Every structure is written in structure tokens, then in C-alpha cells.
Amino acid sequence: MTVLEIKNQMAGLKARDLKELHLHLIRLRHSTPEWKKATAKKIRAVQAGRFITSEAIEKRLSRRG
């Protein structure tokens, strides 16, 4: 089955079925070694204190406007 065929079949799905498919695709992506490695790296960075708070982000954004 080609990607185009899959897209065409998806276009005919009901909203509930499309949501279920979307959740399935997310679960598949989260099971890849690449995703697990990237997520572990981000978690280690946060645990080491290398992150920005939501308050700091809001402050930066408010200075732009």
C-alpha cells in the first residue's frame, strides 16, 4: 500500500477513528529507539537543572511585544 492510498483511506475516516489512528501512530513513534534516546537526554538535562521555567518564557515573550 502506498502512502497516497493510506492518505486517501484516512480522508474517509470518521473523527473518532481518525483520533484512534493518530494515537496509534504516536504510540508507534514513542516506541522507537531514537525517540527513547532523545527523551532520555531531555529528562537528564532537566534533572541536571538545565531548563527554563514557564515564567521566564512568558517574560521573554512579553518583552518582544
In Å, what is the CA distance from 45 to each residue of 41, 51, 55, 59, 60?
6, 7, 19, 22, 21
pLDDT confidence of 26, banded at 50, 70, 90? very high
In Å, what is the CA distance from 15 to each residue of 6, 18, 20, 22?
16, 5, 9, 10
Q: pLDDT tens for residues 28-65?
A: 999 999 999 999 999 999 999 998 999 999 999 999 86
**pLDDT of amino acid 56:** 92
Report helix, strand and coil shares of the chain as percent, to nearest 5. 80, 0, 20
**Domain layout of the chain by residue ranges:** 3-64
Distance from the Cα of residue 33 to its chain's centroid: 15
Q: pLDDT tens for residues 2-25?
A: 999 999 999 999 999 999 999 999
